[in-house]
Amino acid sequence: MGSAARRAADEVIVERLMSDPRLLDAKSVGLYLPMETEPSIDEVVEFLFDRGVTVCVPVLRGDDLIMTSIDADTQWGINSYGIAEPISGEVIADADVYIVPMVAYHGKDRLGHGKGYFDRYLADKKGYRIGVAYACQRADFDVQAHDVPMDKVITEEEICE
Tens digit of pLDDT for each residue in 77-94? 998 888 899 998 899 999
Burial 29-41 (b: 16+ CB within 10 A, else e): bbbbbbeeebbbb
AA letter at 146 = H
DSSP per residue over 32-48, as a string?
A: PPPPTTS---HHHHHHH
Domains annotated for the chain, with CATH where assigned, are 3-160 (3.40.50.10420)
Predicted local distance difference test score (pLDDT) of residue 14: 98
Q: For 48-85, write each residue's pLDDT tens digit.
A: 999 999 999 999 988 899 999 999 899 999 988 888 99
Following DSSP, what letter does each residue of 99-123 receive, concatenated? EEE-SEEETTEEE-SSS-HHHHHHT
CB 44 within 8 A of CB 13: no
pLDDT for residue 99: 98
The rounded distance, in Å, linking the Cα atoms of 15 and 17 is: 5
Q: What is the pLDDT of residue 112?
A: 85
Number of C-beta neighbours around residue 94 at 10 A: 14
- The rounded distance, in Å, linking the Cα atoms of 94 and 13 is 24
pLDDT at 12 over 80: yes
